[in-house]
Structure 1
Amino acid sequence: MDAQLLAFTGVAAGMVAMPGADFTVVVRNALVSRRAGVACALGITGGLLLHTALAVAGVAAVLTAVPALFRTLQVLGGCYVLHLGARTLLSLRRPRPAEPAEAPGRPWPAERAEAPGRPRPAEPTEAPGSGRPLRQGFVTNALNPKAPITFLSLLPQFVPAGAPALPRTLLLALIVVVLALLWFPAVALLVDRLGRWLRRPRAARAVEAVTGTALTVLGAVLLFEAVS
């Protein structure tokens, strides 16, 4: 791997791992179940695949040339993220079961279920009305109009002078997609792994409050940028 590819991989890894709406939506779905979290992560990867394909094809240049289209997508993206945040915050009003007391020396139910000789309980299914995680991940990422413009301005910087542009940009786009395919499912699996603590009523409410607030703020920022 040449120096430019190494540099691009580092920059792309930072972009993918940067906390934002994608990260928050994955965490929110992973708290529902492992399957929901991974599905959401795959949806986000699909959105990134769309953006990188647009950047490679040069279609993203249209967003730069037509400000009204950019603003429209920005408003749609902001509204969707704001909707997810508001719905998460509203879910805090639902009554929750009391947190069971943990007797000294007795393992938490998740530990007992994973003890040798005991089958692991079935994963909880997604709560009614919570939406489809795959669609949530894809729409949250796909409606971010800054992504294709970011890739359109970033990819050419790592194409060596005189080198064929198309194969190189395709390789750079593939690196971004692979990084997302590694990072977001890893986040979902980690959140699920910590679910023993995160799914306790108090912890779950705290995490939902944080993620709901983060999504609401991110959506508000997108809308503010669109109308300012």
Structure 2
Amino acid sequence: MNRPLGPPVDATPAPWPSRVTLEGQTVILEPLEESHADALFPHIGGAANAWLWDYMFTDVPSSLAEIRSRIARQAQSKDPFFWAIKVKKHAAQGTAEAEVVGYIAFLAIVPAHRSIEIGHVMYSAALQRTTAATEAIYLLGHYAIRDLGYRRLEWKCNDLNAASRKAAARYGFTFEGVFRQHYISKGRNRDTAWFSILDSEWERGVEAAFEQWLDPGNFDEEGKQKRRLESFR
């Protein structure tokens, strides 16, 4: 009896992400270093920024010493693999004129299956709802799929995190379902929503939508978008 099998695919493992800097028009993703901690603390540390950590697995760092220690560990990690997010003050300015306002990571990196996740998304108030926030996702997606050859790009979040779910849909990720009682996080249940973009989807429209949305012609003189990202897909 012949049973259905999946189509054959190239089984060559993808390479591991390298410590490269990814630069766009508005944002620079720089491999995270302990030296980024001092600039990050005002944006993501202390009681005033505790709300940023509601859906993270750890609590807000309460002191500069604590964030330095935490960032030092993250900088040495290979999975998750962290980048500092630096926003340019003006599009033409380089790394020296950019401010560190958050971080982001690749994780669940499985080269043998060419699967990789974007996560540990720490977008400070200075980064949220900005062009740079969207371009950071584009840069990571392009690097993972186009440069490294991964065929599955994942996004996961607490199912109660409405903002993250909305962002995943806006970026072009497909909702795949909810893993119920997936974690116990900070003493609370966490159901995890799963999303993905496949390489074929990236190549057939998701990438082009990002690029058309990011085109300077899509923004007015005040930097407001003329068309929404979703409208380009």
TM-score, structure 1 length as denominator?
A: 0.21
| More contact order relative to length (CA 8 Å, sep ≥ 6) | 1
Specify which structure has the higher proportion of strand: 2
Specify which structure has the higher proportion of helix: 1
TM-score, structure 2 length as denominator?
A: 0.21
